[in-house]
Amino acid sequence: MTSDPPIGESRGILLRHFTLEDLPGYRAWLQPDQEWHLWNGPYGAPMDSAQVDLRVERLRGLIEDGTLRLPPIERAVVAMADDPEGLVGMVSWHWEAEESDWRRMGVSVFDPDVRGRGTGTEALRIWTDYLFENTEVVRLDFSTWSGNTRMLGVGHRLGFVEEARFREAREVRGERYDSVVMGMLRRDWLARRDHSTLV
């Protein structure tokens, strides 16, 4: 395992860099039969095993050449502070518009045994703080669907604002749901943090 310092820690949740030792577990969690796919973008088909292998090998390359650790990192492991070598989820970001430094984030909690205990909230709190501290980004957001009430709750608890709702835009298991985008501006995040209003 790496001896790199963690990216951040809060209330028993730890974010750290991916390592080569994480790859077997990551591959296992990405398999299409894993339960977390029911909540994380279930309106799209999960990757098949061949696509999972390609994703894992790409990640291996980024770890081996050191690209993954160059700030600002694009993804990190979510682990429990009392088991920092475990992998219970991940956070990520990607460009929505690089010219305006608009980034879209994501958090996935793979392990159902730690879901519903604030894991996603703390992981996204650490990740949001990290990105605002280590980049010049003006805004961050995430996209989810109205059936994922836990993810919507994460956004509300952290002070994200619902900025868009596309009605009945997602079909999940034969039912229609809204697509929802929740955003945060740098100035609002720093003001909330400085006034200790984050719950």
142, part of any domain: yes
Domain residues for the domain of 13 are 8-194
Strands of the chain, DSSP E:
8-10, 13-16, 75-80, 89-97, 102-109, 139-145, 161-172, 175-185
1, part of any domain: no
**What CATH number should be reported for the domain holding residue 22?**
3.40.630.30
29, part of any domain: yes
139, part of any domain: yes
pLDDT attached to residue 196: 61
pLDDT attached to residue 3: 62
Domain count, the chain: 1
pLDDT attached to residue 24: 97
199, part of any domain: no
20-57 pLDDT tens trace: 999 999 999 999 999 999 999 999 888 999 999 999 99
2, part of any domain: no
The pLDDT confidence band at residue 4, using thresholds 50, 70 and 90, is: confident
19, part of any domain: yes
84, part of any domain: yes
pLDDT attached to residue 158: 97
